[in-house]
Structure 1
Amino acid sequence: MELLHLHYFRTVAEELNFTHAANRLFISQPALSMTIKKLERELDTELFNRNGRTITLTNQGRILLQSVEKIENELALVKDRLSNPEQDVTISLASSHGRFIQILLAEFLVNPSATLFNTEILSNREILSQLLTDEIHFSISFMEIKHPEVTSEPVIEEDIVLTYPGHYTEQEVMRVLYDNETAKSFLFPSHNKDYNSFIKLKMTEFSLYADSIRYIDDVSLQVALRQQRHFSFVPVSVCRELKLPFVAKDNLTIVSKIYLSRLSRGLTEEQQTVYDTIKQFFLREAASFVK
């Protein structure tokens, strides 16, 4: 299967007319028809439904078209990078939490010439999948990414503490914490099931139970927390940022780790530079992540 033949196929699929496609490709219509028939024989399937001069894509043709578009788009990107080696480097990274991305973008995009980032908020399973397929270069998460092809290193620890409604004092919280009504007042972020499972497991260890679990998105969660009407386990750095009250006792503090993960085979020089810079940033700011 030749790339040129795939390009011919894509052109016919876009034009849905052999004559128009041939004119666009600057080849004869019979030569184009023969190329498509050869491709169909090679794939052992029909790519087009033919009804006189009218043609449409078959289901197999649509599947092939999607793949060809991806291949040609990737080749175009590679060609552009090879012809412009000094262009801006774009780093693709994912995180288990939007706050990690916010922290990094605030730190690294203040410079007009700074590295550009493609970012996503994903579950650990999605992060692993995209690392293995090179869709992202590295990730930042609160849990280790376990796979033989992935290096996942803990960078710093952070304290996750219990914030509570503002009309309570910390002493009052300790008296009402195990009441039934209190159990109905916990908030959890809706975007991250891994985090919620982790927190609920730790709550069980504290003999705390959330009878009616409320899941809300990150933006709504911040708004709700600012109102100081609910209980929630949140990083102490978030409590400081939002000026939230929190229980300082160690026996109600969850100690977690922040991991940087990448493929074990390594990164390019530019990617490694950004990776190391992010790692040093977290190490430098480690004190802000603990009580």
Structure 2
Amino acid sequence: MTITQLHYVLAVAEHKNFTKAAQKVFVTQPTLSMQIQKLEEELDVQIFDRTKKPIQLTETGQKIVQQARNIVNESDRIQDIVDQQKGYVGGIFKLGVIPTVMPTLLPMFISDFIKKYPKVKLKIEELNTDEIIERLKEGHLDAAIAATPLELPGVKENVLYYEPFVGYIPDSHRLFHENKIEVNDLSIDDMLLLEDGHCFKDGIINLCKSSRDYDDDHFQLESGSFETLIKLANEGLGMTLLPYLHTRDVKEEEKKNLKMFKEPVPAREVSLIYNRSELKMQIIEALRKTIAGVVKGAITFHNVNIISPLNKSKKESHSD
């Protein structure tokens, strides 16, 4: 049994196709098939049911893949150990970022990071929270930037910043003439929300749940982007909430529609998350320092109330 064979097994398990798996690991399809067959003969079990389309894992194969993933991940970390001992900050680093953070945070830190750490090859993917959790679990990500707390077993959450919610309220709305708004002013009935799958939407629903009775069927308009929500609000179809960093991109003539909350300001916690067993800590720490450096000047709020992205209401106060 070799690490290479286990890599091949994991590729087929992921792609459910020998040809695609061979392309992923940069070998010919016959070579990959022969190595997997050798492994099956050595173990005297069938890992894959080739009679099904797409190819499926057998019951024993599922257990083998689970263990193979652990073995491959641990073997990959040998190089990480060497790099740490040498103080080397470099190599490929796979980072997932949630969609409501990607467009605002990435431009703020990516240039600085590349200049400071030119030997790090960042591979960044925009993924929703569920996808991030799955990929972290499978070892396809080294770390991610997501709204927390997520309370995942074996996952470390390193807080980067606390980002307030800001109301976007057009002049036709009942709250437009308020200098500052309160959580109790919010109604889910006229709230424009992001589509399902965005944790920012779950945070808003949790915020509204905390202030009054909430019925899942009340809200009506959803969109995939904050830009569309702003346009819908401008058409008089309701109000929306934006993450604070996104308000920096609002058009000058629309800034009059931005309303801050009274303290304690509802906010989301944004963290760098990674498996507790992760060994690329020198890169994780480099990312944390770079992001903290640029965000510190952009977000200087105190006395915030953290709204959980989980599908339940969980709040905690934070002052810094």
- For this structure pair, what is the TM-score category when the shorter chain's length is used for normalisation? 0.5 to 0.7
Instruction: Pick closer, same or farther for the CA change 1:6–1:248 going to 2, 3 Å.
Output: closer
1:61, 1:107 → 2: CA distance?
Answer: 43
Residue in structure 1 matching 2:164, options 142, 152, 159: 159
Report the secondary structure of 2:140's partner residue: coil
Instruction: Tell me if 1:137 matches 2:142.
Output: yes
Instruction: Tell me if 1:232 matches 2:240.
Output: yes
Q: CA deviation at 1:130?
A: 2.5
Moved more, 251-260 or 156-165: 251-260
1:267, 1:8 → 2: CA distance?
Answer: 24
Q: Unaligned regions of 5+ residues in structure 2, if any?
A: 13-17, 20-29, 305-320
Instruction: Pick closer, same or farther for the CA change 1:61–1:5 going to 2, 3 Å.
Output: farther
Residue in structure 2 matching 1:215, options 222, 243, 262: 222
Report the secondary structure of 1:286's partner residue: coil
Q: Kindly report the root-mean-square deviation, in angstroms, between the aligned alpha carbons of the 2 structures.
A: 4.9
Determine if contact 1:157/1:289 at 8 Å carries over to the other structure. Answer: no
1:198, 1:7 → 2: CA distance?
Answer: 39
Q: How does 1:201-212 map to 2 (within 5 A)?
A: 201-207=206-212, 211-212=218-219
Q: CA deviation at 1:203?
A: 1.5
Letter in 2 for 1:143: T
Letter in 1 for 2:292: K
Report the secondary structure of 1:152's partner residue: strand
Q: How does 1:176-195 map to 2 (within 5 A)?
A: 184-195=189-200
Q: CA deviation at 1:152?
A: 0.9
Q: Deviations over 1:177-198 (max 9, x none)?
A: 999xx86542111153533232
Instruction: Tell me if 1:255 matches 2:267.
Output: yes
Number of aligned pairs? 247
Residue in structure 2 matching 1:276, options 289, 292, 296: 289
Determine if contact 2:109/2:294 at 8 Å carries over to the other structure. Answer: no
Report the secondary structure of 1:136's partner residue: coil
Letter in 1 for 2:295: F
Determine if contact 1:92/1:136 at 8 Å carries over to the other structure. Answer: yes
Question: Identity over aligned residues, as a percent?
Answer: 14
Instruction: Tell me if 1:241 matches 2:267.
Output: no
Letter in 2 for 1:119: E
2:8, 2:93 → 1: CA distance?
Answer: 33
2:137, 2:153 → 1: CA distance?
Answer: 11
TM-score, length of structure 1 as denominator length: 0.61
Partner of 1:102: 103
Partner of 1:29: none
Task: Pick the structure with greater CA Rg.
Answer: 1
Q: CA deviation at 1:109?
A: 4.1
Determine if contact 2:95/2:123 at 8 Å carries over to the other structure. Answer: yes
Instruction: Pick closer, same or farther for the CA change 1:43–1:106 going to 2, 3 Å.
Output: same
2:8, 2:172 → 1: CA distance?
Answer: 70
Letter in 2 for 1:265: S
Instruction: Pick closer, same or farther for the CA change 1:281–1:39 going to 2, 3 Å.
Output: same
Determine if contact 1:142/1:259 at 8 Å carries over to the other structure. Answer: yes
